[in-house]
Amino acid sequence: MNIGFGRSRLIGYAIMGALIGAAIFIIHDLLEIFYPESHNWILVVLIPLIAAGMALIARSENAVYEWGSRLEAARKRINELMLSAVAERHWIQSTHDPVLVTCWRMLECDKEDCPVYGREHARCWLIAGTYCRGEVQGQFARKIHDCQLCPVYRNATEDPVREISENFMAMNYLLSEREEQLESAFNEARGRSQKLAGLVALSEAALSSVHLSEVMQNLLESAAQVVGADMGFVSLADSAGDALGTAATYGLAPGSAAELTVKVGEGIVGRAFAGTYIAISEDLTVDSRFVAPFLKNANVRTLISLPLVGKQQPLGMLTLGTFSPHHYSDEERDSLCVAADRIAAAIENVKLNTELSRDRGQIELMEVVTRDLVSQDHVGGIYDSFIQHAVAILDFDGASLVRWHPEAGEIEILAVSTKAPKTWLAKGLRLPLGAAAVGDVIESGVSLMRDEITGDEYQIDKLLLEEGVKSYVILPLRVKGAVLGAVMLNSFRAHAFSTDDLELLEPLARQLGLVLDNARLLEEAKRLSLVDSTTGLYNHRYFYDVVSREMSKSARHGRPVAVMLIGIDGFQEFTRSRGGVQGDRLLQDIAGSLEANVRGADVVARYGGDEFAVLLPYLGAESAGSIDLASAAGRIRRAIAGALKRDEGQPPVGLSIGAAGYPDHASDTAGLLERADWALRAARAGHEDFVLAEKPY
């Protein structure tokens, strides 16, 4: 397009001027011929008219030229805009136009909060989000109709060409807004796709392992990737529900789990768990709530912590964070809520599967342990069997079995085993109940686990530390609500035992308590079958067996042994006169005197209705031995004399003693007891205090 004074138009105007001049000369000649009087006047009128017409034509031509120039400029501008928009995929255009008077000057506006204020030749309708008088209305597409009311806009668009240019720029801005909306929608869709992919990965991670630690680690890493977190950790509540221990970490230094343990109700994480709500801190540097010093030292900037809620109760917390400023959007919170639910469900499933497997294994183990324990008939064998099975499932360095004696307020060590080179523990050792932690377990009936002993609480712990013991677990042995004792397992390592170990050991301890109680009852029954119920001394049966064993030892080692039978003279008359109760009391007094006045190696028994027997190892019947037997008989007689003294008017009670020795008087048990019985009958018949048996013929 070429609008203006080109060469062809100049030639045309020259030819037209020449023709008009020739026409004027011709007209002048003709008028001079036909109107000689007025031809000059006619020329005076005609020439100005022709000049005026030419001026009008020139003016129109000039206007056309100007319009053409402006159209050419508009065409070039539109082409530039279109080329720049297509080539650069960029819709935003400059708002600077020196032709326009700035709106804030035209409207005498002084709203400094308006983005247009102070900018020369800027148009508010082409600055997205602004409105006249400084008010902010929003995006350009929502305010374009209001621009028709603005005098600056009307003044700028009253020229059709400028109106086309402004409308084209307005179209660019509309396209720019649409492009931003499409790009935002695309980014949002891509973000959702990534989050869905993250949730899919989260679901896959939940099924990736059957071990709780591995599952939590996989879930934590997948959840962190969903929102682009730099670090995170999963905290689970302990069995008591008092503290949150760190079960898995992501993006943090090794060994940070212990630093992140918090009590329930303390700090951001502990409070959120107690209240079961989502806690968010977008700037930990200015957050007034307590934050673990480890997180601040690790330069963690933001934090979001979500509760892991199971079907019945909260399980723990999922905590994620970033090292740079970040705003957690509603969509991110929703995604993390889904992730937290998945993690809680996975934890419950793994725990349930673990518990089922453990219960199944525990039942199988209990069957083996019960069968093995029941097969033992004494405490030592039961203890050894228990330790053998406990070693198969746990790693420990020492163990001990303790019995509780409530009548004495003491604990007795029944069995002990340890890997320590030296130990102060010994079988048969008795300690006051409050001397060791086992006393607390016996009093409370509740298991105790010490992760790391210091020796400050119990004196016995200091001795354990000297042996190298760092941690231990004590389990009560309960039967029908009563605590019989306790079993203690210790380790040379701190934190050697866990709550899972405790849950595994407690059923074994209950079974051990039942078996030990049965063994105790069996031993008591055996003891009662060998003990006289009235005096508490061994009975005739036991005395006969112990004499046989002692004679076998004497035969092997060539040393003597003697038996002494003691008869209570006048006992039947005393019983008929005073009654059976007083008779039993007399027997009990005599039994007490006998036990108090014999040696530690001697054995005292009730031999018959009014007869007692004493086994005297190392005492013979010959020479010095007979003197020893007579001395022993005299000592016994003097000791029993106090018990035989009765009130006046009561039937008299006397004492006769007969004795026999091996190998002088007999060669076997029956013969020895028979010779001692003969000596007793001889003493009673002769009313003698002591008779020593004679050698058989």
Within 10 angstroms of residue 562's Cβ, the number of other Cβ atoms is 28
Secondary structure letter of residue 114 according to DSSP: S
pLDDT tens digits, one per residue of 255-312: 777 778 888 888 888 888 888 888 888 888 887 776 777 787 788 888 898 888 877 7
174, amino acid identity: L
What pLDDT was estimated at residue 637?
Answer: 84
What pLDDT was estimated at residue 497?
Answer: 82
DSSP-assigned letters across all residues of 388-454: HHHHHH---SEEEEEEEETTTTEEEEEEEEESSSS-S--TT-EEEGGGSHHHHHHHH---EEESS--
Among the ranges given (139-143, 210-214, 311-315, 614-618), the one the predictor scored with the smallest mean pLDDT: 139-143
Secondary element (H or E) of residue 237: strand 231-237
pLDDT at 113 over 80: no
Res. 6 pLDDT band, cuts 50 70 90? low
What pLDDT was estimated at residue 65?
Answer: 76
Collapsed DSSP state (helix, strand, coil) of residue 480 = coil
For 433, counting Cβ atoms within 10 Å of its Cβ (0-12 exposed, 13-18 middle, 19+ buried), the class is middle
Higher pLDDT, 210 or 254: 254
pLDDT at 623 over 50: no
pLDDT at 137 over 60: no
269, amino acid identity: V
d(CA 692, CA 695): 10
Res. 357 pLDDT band, cuts 50 70 90? low
What pLDDT was estimated at residue 636?
Answer: 83
Q: Which of 202, 197, 195, 200 is nearest to 234 (CA)?
A: 202
- Residues 272, 279: contact at Cβ < 8 Å? yes
Span 623-643, average pLDDT = 71
What pLDDT was estimated at residue 86?
Answer: 53
370, amino acid identity: T
Cβ neighbours for 46, distance < 8 A, ≥ 6 positions apart: 24, 27
Place of tokens 């668009």: 157
Q: Which of 469, 471, 468, 413 is nearest to 439 (CA)?
A: 413
Higher pLDDT, 446 or 649: 446
What pLDDT was estimated at residue 297?
Answer: 79
Share of the chain above pLDDT 70, in %: 74
Share of the chain above pLDDT 90, in %: 0
pLDDT tens digits, one per residue of 443-472: 888 888 888 887 777 777 788 888 888 888
Res. 82 pLDDT band, cuts 50 70 90? low
pLDDT at 38 over 80: no
Higher pLDDT, 649 or 178: 178
For 297, counting Cβ atoms within 10 Å of its Cβ (0-12 exposed, 13-18 middle, 19+ buried), the class is exposed
What are 479's two structure tokens? 């039967």
pLDDT tens digits, one per residue of 150-196: 777 777 777 776 777 777 776 776 677 777 777 877 777 666 656 55
Higher pLDDT, 328 or 32: 328
Within 10 angstroms of residue 590's Cβ, the number of other Cβ atoms is 26
Secondary element (H or E) of residue 690: strand 690-692
pLDDT tens digits, one per residue of 64-79: 777 777 777 777 767 6
Res. 207 pLDDT band, cuts 50 70 90? very low
Span 203-221, average pLDDT = 61
Going edge to edge, which strands form the sheet with 410-418? 430-432, 410-418, 398-405, 482-491, 471-479, 448-450
**Torsion over CA: 685, 687, 693, 697 (sign):** negative
Place of tokens 């939590």: 216
Q: Which of 344, 348, 300 is nearest to 326 (CA)?
A: 300
Cβ neighbours for 237, distance < 8 A, ≥ 6 positions apart: 243, 244, 245, 264, 273, 314, 315, 316
Place of tokens 């302990």: 238
What pLDDT was estimated at residue 456?
Answer: 74
Highest mean pLDDT among 245-259, 288-302, 401-415, 656-670: 656-670
- Residues 75, 104: contact at Cβ < 8 Å? no
**Torsion over CA: 533, 536, 537, 543 (sign):** positive
What are 537's two structure tokens? 């001394």
Among the ranges given (19-33, 133-147, 403-417, 679-693), the one the predictor scored with the smallest mean pLDDT: 133-147
**Long-range pairs for 90-98: beta carbons < 8 A, 24 or more residues apart:** 91/172, 91/173, 91/175, 91/176, 91/179, 92/172, 92/173, 92/176, 93/126, 93/169, 93/172, 93/173, 95/119, 95/121, 95/122, 95/123, 95/126, 95/127, 96/120, 96/121, 96/122, 97/121, 97/123, 97/156
What are 1's two structure tokens? 């397009």
The β-bridge partners of 613 are 565, 605
239, amino acid identity: S
What pLDDT was estimated at residue 463?
Answer: 80
What pLDDT was estimated at residue 472?
Answer: 87
Q: Where are the alpha helices (DSSP H) in 266-400?
A: 267-275, 293-297, 330-374, 379-393
Across the chain, mean pLDDT equals 75
Place of tokens 């993690």: 343
∠ Cα 56 57 62 (to 5°): 95
pLDDT tens digits, one per residue of 477-522: 877 777 878 888 888 888 888 877 777 777 777 777 766 666 666 6
Highest mean pLDDT among 19-33, 166-180, 233-247, 377-391: 233-247
- Residues 614, 594: contact at Cβ < 8 Å? yes
d(CA 606, CA 183): 107
pLDDT at 375 over 60: no
Q: Are strands 654-662 and 690-692 parallel, antiparallel or unpaired?
A: parallel
What pLDDT was estimated at residue 360?
Answer: 62
pLDDT tens digits, one per residue of 554-603: 888 888 888 999 888 888 888 888 888 888 888 888 888 888 888 888 88
- Residues 289, 312: contact at Cβ < 8 Å? no
